[in-house]
Amino acid sequence: MKKSLVLAMAMALGVTASAYAANPFSDVPAGHWAYDSVAKLAQAGVVDGYADGAFDGEKLMTRYEMAQIVAKAMAKGANVDKLAAEFADELDTLGVRVANLEKKADAVKISGEVRAHYESYDNEASVAELRTRLWITGQVNEDWSYTGMLENIQELAHSDEGEEGTDFARAYLEGKVGGLDVLAGRWNEVTSSGNVLDADVDGIKVSYGDNVKVYAAAMKAAEGLIKDSSDRIYVVGAETTIGAVDVYANYFKANAAEIGWGTTDADGDGNPDADKWDNKEIYNIGLGLEVAKDLALSYDYMWGDKKVDETVSKDGWVARLDYKESDPAEAGTYGIHAQYFDQPINAYLSPTTDAPTFDSGYEGWNVGVDYTLAENIQLCVNYYDTEAKSGSEKEELIFSELYFFF
């Protein structure tokens, strides 16, 4: 690129100085078409001549020479985003960070995942579904960001043509107010292990602290977990790490007359159980630690203040063992897990599980494996064997998922 062309581009991008600046270059005499522009750029410190005092405007420049001009223009506050993008590698080599350009490029991002999943039950029922999620994230400023999610679900097993629907499933803001972290809108709330609550909710959550994190949330469920729009779920909790052990404690209060399965007749007395779920409270503690290389153990205990009937206890627990972990970005990585759960209905709201559940709660076991087939393509297969906490219902399930991330 000739210096004369670079000069014209730089001037068009707004590098200015005194209109009457003296020209320091011997080969750009007064009356030359570029005299004023060269003088302004030289005075602003954007362009330099050679050792012999010449500007050599017809000489071809290297990319590094051009990058130096761009860097100097940036330092003077000139708007050179397009040039900075073109010469980003050279600027990086020169130790110049294009901070403003990076911020603009990262302001809005779109990512996504496609999940094909198939469920096979021991009673021969099956479910086939294709789910697509598009994530849109936007940076408001250094402290605040926005996230939205579009979700399309195609039910492939129930009709030849498939049934589909697209929803704006999540939309929330995250940011800081003083020393508090704030989350507001509709998001997926996974409290600690998720064995008590993992659901899309509408509300606000406030957190504080790093080494010891405390949080509180007021929400209503977006998935029909709570039936009435005036009903609420409240959560307060804390989590920290003590040595090699992750520890957490939570308190949940569901201020509603109808929560989840609360309208069923689980105890068989002929009356709906809605009255048993009013102001349902759950206490939850848990821990997790790495017991050996690539081997992690977690334990979750939860206790509810309501009883379904005299045969079902108020407390429940989940124990899980994980060996290694599948990384979707690295082909060939894998993870294996096994868990046992004993969860009466009164000890959870909407847990993280694909296991068959029942009106009175469920107990049983699960084994599964996750394997990355290729970069950003992950296969997950789980087997569940569960039975009802009250009665004789049992179920087995193979739950398989194939993820594509982009």
Please indicate, yes or no, whether residues 118 and 76 belong to a single structural domain of this protein.
no
Residue 316 tokens read as 């429940």
Please indicate, yes or no, whether residues 241 and 351 belong to a single structural domain of this protein.
yes
The string of pLDDT tens digits covering residues 125-157 is 678 899 999 999 999 988 999 999 999 998 886
The string of pLDDT tens digits covering residues 11-62 is 544 544 444 455 667 667 776 666 666 676 676 666 676 666 676 666 676 7
> For residue 265, what are the domain limits?
109-405
- What number is the average pLDDT over the span 216-222? 87
CB-neighbour burial class of residue 25 (10 A; exposed 0-12, middle 13-18, buried 19+): buried
Segments of 39-161 assigned E as strands: 108-121, 126-139, 145-155
Q: Residue 97 has what pLDDT?
A: 53
Pick the last residue of a domain from 70, 88, 103: 103
Q: Residue 136 has what pLDDT?
A: 95
What is the DSSP secondary-structure string of 122-152? Answer: TTS-EEEEEEEEEEEEEE-SSS-EEEEEEEE
Residue 9 tokens read as 């581009």
Q: Are 370 and 382 in contact (CB under 8 A)?
A: no
Please indicate, yes or no, whether residues 299 and 319 belong to a single structural domain of this protein.
yes
C-alpha to C-alpha distance for 380 and 195, rounded to whole angstroms: 19
Please indicate, yes or no, whether residues 96 and 129 belong to a single structural domain of this protein.
no
Please indicate, yes or no, whether residues 192 and 95 belong to a single structural domain of this protein.
no
C-alpha to C-alpha distance for 257 and 276, rounded to whole angstroms: 8
Please indicate, yes or no, whether residues 195 and 332 belong to a single structural domain of this protein.
yes
pTM: 0.70
- Identity of the highest mean pLDDT range in 56-70, 102-116, 290-304: 290-304
Please indicate, yes or no, whether residues 96 and 116 belong to a single structural domain of this protein.
no
Residue 70: helix, strand or coil by DSSP? helix
Tally of structural domains, the chain: 2
Please indicate, yes or no, whether residues 152 and 77 belong to a single structural domain of this protein.
no
Please indicate, yes or no, whether residues 87 and 228 belong to a single structural domain of this protein.
no
Q: Residue 107 — pLDDT band, cuts 50, 70, 90?
A: confident
Pick the last residue of a domain from 103, 126, 158: 103
- What number is the average pLDDT over the span 374-383? 97
Q: Residue 70 — pLDDT band, cuts 50, 70, 90?
A: confident
Please indicate, yes or no, whether residues 34 and 135 belong to a single structural domain of this protein.
no
Mean pLDDT, the chain, whole residue set: 81
- E strand or H helix at 81: helix 81-86
Q: Residue 174 has what pLDDT?
A: 97
Pick the last residue of a domain from 88, 103, 118: 103
Please indicate, yes or no, whether residues 221 and 301 belong to a single structural domain of this protein.
yes
Q: At 268, give phi and psi (nearest 5°).
A: 70, 20
Q: Residue 65 — pLDDT band, cuts 50, 70, 90?
A: confident
Please indicate, yes or no, whether residues 301 and 167 belong to a single structural domain of this protein.
yes
The contacts of residue 16 (CB under 8 Å, 6+ apart) are 40, 44
Give the distance, in angstroms, between the CA of residue 277 and the centroid of all CA atoms in the same chain: 32
DSSP lists the bridge partners of residue 366 as 339, 384
Return the CATH number at 327.
2.40.160.10
The contacts of residue 399 (CB under 8 Å, 6+ apart) are 117, 119, 354, 381, 382, 383, 384
The contacts of residue 390 (CB under 8 Å, 6+ apart) are 266, 267, 308, 309, 311, 312, 358, 359, 360, 361
Q: Residue 278 — pLDDT band, cuts 50, 70, 90?
A: low
The contacts of residue 99 (CB under 8 Å, 6+ apart) are none
Residue 270 tokens read as 């002929």
- E strand or H helix at 296: strand 295-304
